[in-house]
Amino acid sequence: MIAGINATHNPDKKSWIASANLPDADFPLQNLPFGRFRRVTSDKSPRIGVAIGDQILDLAACAEQGLLEAAGGIVVRACQDTSINALMRTGSQAASSLRSSLHDLLVEDSTRQAAVSRNLLGIAETELFVPSKIGGYTDFYASIHHATNVGRLFRPDNPLLPNYKYVPIAYHGRSSSIVVSGTPVVRPSGQQRSGENDLRFAPSRRLDYELEAGLYIGQGNALGTPIPITESAQHIFGFSLVNDWSARDIQSWEYQPLGPFLGKNFGTTVSPWIVTSEALAPFRVAANPRPAGDPAPLPYLFAEEDQQHGALNIELEVLIASEKMRQQGIAPHRLSCVNFNTMYWTPAQMVTHHASNGCNLEPGDLLASGTVSGPEPGSLGSLLEITKGGRDPFTVPSGETRTFLEDGDEVILRGSCSAPGFRRIGFGECRGVILPARV
């Protein structure tokens, strides 16, 4: 069952924290995303927090002071853990109770402002972490526009492989190299082949980003027990931004016959906040209609509710800032903007397919969507597509040209949701700057 709209989505409600009420605030009262943080000056273990305006509410401190009792004892205990995984494990109803309690504490007419205010800390005063302990990371390939664009570079007459419209394609990534926004990314080195006899080990010259959304698993499933499509939404705790960096030259040499390996696993950047499924309820939309002639999903991947409300209206954008641009004070340059509702497969279909063979998903696992691209030139989610495999350079405001990323380039992903009659909410930023290879 998909989370519905309730009092926590009321757009007329404001917070007593002024920064949460600004029109362009990513984290208004209607959002309340979860993350992990600690003070910049601290060496203690991270704590669970909720973003509100430009502040973080310390949930462990609130739990210790009896401010979260209305959410129930299991939630209070989970909020005192050092990771969000314990909270994810409690299930969607418990997480909803916590959201309701937090809304009541932070709403404008709250009677507990004084007690709550002692547990606030400015986001700028903190160090943020990957929001969950990620045991498993899977990267999907769910954008048909991206799959077609990339396939056309290598197979102009037959860009999509026969299985694409039947199977939500994915591969298992490396969770140990997932880093939080702001962490520099070292240019990888690897084997590359540019001609019949030109094989070398060297720093990648075709380093790329991939604009993706990620979903975090809440309650998992037992090994051997599939997740029905009608129950998948209950297993999704929330969503974030993902940049699955890709070394295209390393990737193209190694990926046959077993798929992505060292061209992918050197680094994946995630935004520090998980926007919950409940917060996203007002932005549910119908799944992208399949073109006439495309096969219907197999029965295990089809549910009417998912087709009607299983996609998400998330506006995603990519910006780039070269080192020269930053030195000259030039604002980041937008490369693309695309809506997540263009995807061929819904999040619930990804979850159901992942568990369809009995694979056990666990709380905190990350499933990335794959590169999000749309049908228009300005909606492409990677440089591989924008530059047509490096053949069409583009120019940034400093006058520099690019086909792929250079050292010093910073890539910034942003995401937000808007809908008539509801408050805009955001995901924060997902940033990473490229450092030279270590050779």
Looking at the annotation, which residues are catalytic? 146
Nearest CA-CA partner of 355 in 175, 226, 212, 189: 226
182: left (phi over 0), alpha (psi -120 to 50) or beta: left
CA distance 212 to 149: 16
The dihedral sign for the CA sequence 294, 214, 183, 439? negative
3-class DSSP assignment, residue 353:
helix
Two tokens, residue 20: 């949460």
From the CA atom positions of the chain, what is the Rg in Å?
22
Two tokens, residue 186: 């070292």
- Name the residue with tokens 């819904």: 346
Torsion of CA 400, 404, 408, 409, to 10 degrees: 80
- Name the residue with tokens 């930023």: 429
CA distance 365 to 178: 12
Two tokens, residue 229: 């499509």
